[in-house]
Chains A and B, each alone.
Chain A
Amino acid sequence: METLLPLSLYSQTGHLLLVLLLLLAGFTGFSGVVNLFRSTPFLPRTTTVLFALTTIVFLGGFLWISWFHYQIYQLLPLELPEPFVQMLNRQLAAMNKGAEYGLPLYNSDAPPRYVLPLWLENGKYYFWFMCYSCMALIGHLRLNKHRFRAVLHILLIVQVAILYMKTDPYLEPLPQFFNEVGPWFTSPVQGYQRFGLFMKLYPKMIFYYNAHYMWFHPPLLFLSYACITMTFVSSVFMLIKRDLDIERLGYDYAKLGYFLLTLGMLLGYPWALKAWGPNWWWDPKICSSIMMWAIYSTYLHTRLYANKPAMWYFSSILGIVCFFAMIFTFLTSFFFPGEHSFVG
């Protein structure tokens, strides 16, 4: 693939950006640890600048990922040899007959290209943590409470460290995708074998990689995950102290998170019908998502009565439970088999 795509340039530059991100987030996190144990703020202005810089580098890295995906779009079209085009279109037309959702016919003038979403494979962690960085920065600027800010900073370095050590999107970009498409672009397979390979790649391209829903369903969920993290931090502080400013901030993020989560889940529904048909209820990921949504709904309902002392604590605990439900839901894709599974 190295001859087809600027892989080394992407990896090396991206990794440098990630190192810079780690350094900036490291300093921010260090100030967070100091601030957590001090009664007065430690370097508040410097921390704000560092946090803003971290978020800017995050956004820069995201632009870099976008550039790489554009290269894939430009340089990796699925071109089928001319003799097979008519045969393919006949076969596709036959397959599309009576099918609820068909595959578009092949057009030699505009061969199908991969429009890869920016939150694919390790990119999803990058996007999720970048969303957190943006949301936490807004929270940081809105609320001048050094201990609250400190927790936001510590969570930031934790996420960047995970990104650097475990889920670097630059080091080995899109391994699963390249594993799938590699044989098409690199192997000398010709004739009917190549045709067979095309028939394997094309449906996945249409129903998964190039699906319009891919641009709405996952990013909305990751944005909501970032909001849930903010609600979690404010809920922890609500348990410790009856601070109305923190409570208001947490509620604002909870509303936004619930909106994004509900919309994201709803937009997954027609996609699931299209890709899997009607029989996917009780898939573990669906179960855990419904569980999380039910807990979140419960949280917002109890929040209506947060002025009652017991409900204040109950809704705070629910805000924390929401966060763990979110982690559990995310991890479901790794440990539970099913349609959303990331592994085997």
Chain B
Amino acid sequence: MVMKKKASFDFYLILSTVAVLFIISVICVYGMFYFKLAQIHHLPPADKMAYMKSMNAVIAPFIIALILLLGICVPKRLLPTIWLNRFAVALSLLGVGLSIGLGIKTGLVFVLVASLGLQLLVLGLAVAGSKRLHFEKSGYWMRVGSSLIHLGIILFVLDVFFYKMPRLHLLLFWVTTGATVFGMLFCFYSDSVVRLVRRVTGKATVNGD
């Protein structure tokens, strides 16, 4: 019964992510047509910046929702459903509280850093081959890969906050790219990775995968 509840929570989290991604897509399409019809490319730089700012304001709530969903998605690997609900509420409240008190940027960075910390923990447990993690799919490399992809996404969003510091921004960007690329390779081609690792080491990997 507990398993069924957890699965459905996972399912609804995915549906929520799908809905947010869909809305972001719609805003992007709106942005394209507005850019063309309002001839933004012919406007002076200051007006262009104003357009970018207004579009940022339109998309911000959905990026926030996506970040929150990411924040909730990460601990689903670690916690049972009841604790996951409590965590989701606590994270949202703290994020909103910090946004009101110290500004929206601080609130968002808090949610992202919290998610990053948790995701690093999940990655560590996945690398160590922990059986306590809840994943939709089994397999050592699949889990490590999935953890790396999510770490990459969190880092990418976090990296946007550092775009005024070019060196750090680019360094974080390459870390993001590395995590995402290796994550996808491990996740999508776990069987081939297992075969490759066996060939290189000449023995079975953790969990016998």
Interface residues of A (CB under 8 A from B): 100, 255-256, 258-259, 262-263, 266-267, 269-270, 273, 278-279, 281-284, 287-288, 290-291, 294-295, 297-298, 301-302, 304-305, 332, 335-338
Interface residues of B in 94-144 (CB under 8 A from A): 136-137
Bound state CA distance, A281 and B170, in angstroms? Answer: 16
Bound state CA distance, A279 and B52, in angstroms? Answer: 9
Interface residues of B (CB under 8 A from A): 11, 14, 17-18, 21-22, 24-25, 28-29, 31-32, 35-36, 39-41, 45, 48-49, 51-52, 55-56, 136-137, 163, 166, 170, 173, 176-177, 180-181, 184-185, 188-189
Partner of B32, one of A255, A262, A273, A288: A288
Q: Is the CB of B21 within 8 A of A298?
A: yes
Q: How far is the CB of A31 from chain B (nearest CB, A)?
A: 33
Partner of A283, one of B21, B24, B35, B180: B35
Bound state CA distance, A150 and B170, in angstroms? Answer: 46
Residues of A within 8 A of B24 (CB): 290-291, 294
Residues of A within 8 A of B22 (CB): 294-295, 298
5 nearest A-B residue pairs (beta carbon): A287-B28, A284-B32, A255-B188, A291-B28, A291-B25
Partner of B18, one of A262, A283, A301: A301
Q: How far is the CB of B14 from chain A (nearest CB, A)?
A: 5
Give how many A-B residue pairs fall within 8 Å (CB-CB): 93
Interface centre among A278, A294, A298, A338 (most CB of B within 10 A): A294
Task: Please name 9 pairs of A and B residues whose Cβ atoms are closer than 8 Å in the assembled complex, sorted by A.
Answer: A258-B184, A259-B184, A273-B170, A281-B56, A284-B32, A284-B35, A294-B21, A302-B18, A332-B32
Q: Is the CB of B170 within 8 A of A270?
A: yes
Residues of B within 8 A of A269 (CB): 173
Q: Is the CB of A337 within 8 A of B41?
A: yes
Partner of A279, one of B35, B48, B166, B181: B48
Q: Is the CB of A284 within 8 A of B36?
A: yes
Q: Is the CB of B29 within 8 A of A288?
A: yes
Bound state CA distance, A255 and B56, in angstroms? Answer: 31
Q: How far is the CB of B56 from chain A (nearest CB, A)?
A: 8
Partner of B14, one of A100, A278, A284, A304: A304
Residues of A within 8 A of B173 (CB): 266, 269-270
Partner of A294, one of B25, B32, B52: B25
Bound state CA distance, A336 and B136, in angstroms? Answer: 41
Q: Is the CB of B29 within 8 A of A287?
A: yes
Residues of A within 8 A of B166 (CB): 100, 273
Q: Is the CB of B18 within 8 A of A298?
A: yes
Bound state CA distance, A52 and B47, in angstroms? Answer: 54
Residues of A within 8 A of B184 (CB): 255, 258-259, 262
Nearest-neighbor residue (CB-CB) of A305 within chain B? B11
Interface centre among A273, A279, A284, A297 (most CB of B within 10 A): A284
Residues of B within 8 A of A335 (CB): 36
Nearest-neighbor residue (CB-CB) of B153 within chain A? A297
Partner of A301, one of B14, B137, B180: B14
Residues of B within 8 A of A283 (CB): 35
Q: How far is the CB of A268 from chain B (nearest CB, A)?
A: 11
Q: Is the CB of B188 within 8 A of A281?
A: no
Taking A284-B36, A290-B28, A336-B35 as known contacts, 11 extra A-B pairs with beta carbons closer than 8 A to each other, sorted by chain A number, are A255-B184, A262-B180, A269-B173, A273-B170, A279-B45, A288-B28, A288-B32, A294-B25, A298-B17, A335-B36, A337-B39
Residues of A within 8 A of B48 (CB): 279
Q: Is the CB of A284 within 8 A of B18?
A: no
Partner of B49, one of A273, A279, A332: A279
Q: How far is the CB of A328 from chain B (nearest CB, A)?
A: 8
Residues of B within 8 A of A302 (CB): 14, 18
Partner of B163, one of A255, A278, A301, A332: A278
Q: How far is the CB of B57 from chain A (nearest CB, A)?
A: 12
Bound state CA distance, A281 and B60, in angstroms? Answer: 14
Interface centre among B18, B36, B173, B181 (most CB of A within 10 A): B18
Q: Is the CB of A287 within 8 A of B11?
A: no
Q: Is the CB of B185 within 8 A of A282?
A: no
* Known contacts A281-B52, A282-B35, A287-B31; A338 and B41 CB within 8 A of each other: yes
Residues of B within 8 A of A284 (CB): 31-32, 35-36
Residues of A within 8 A of B185 (CB): 259
Interface centre among A262, A263, A291 (most CB of B within 10 A): A291
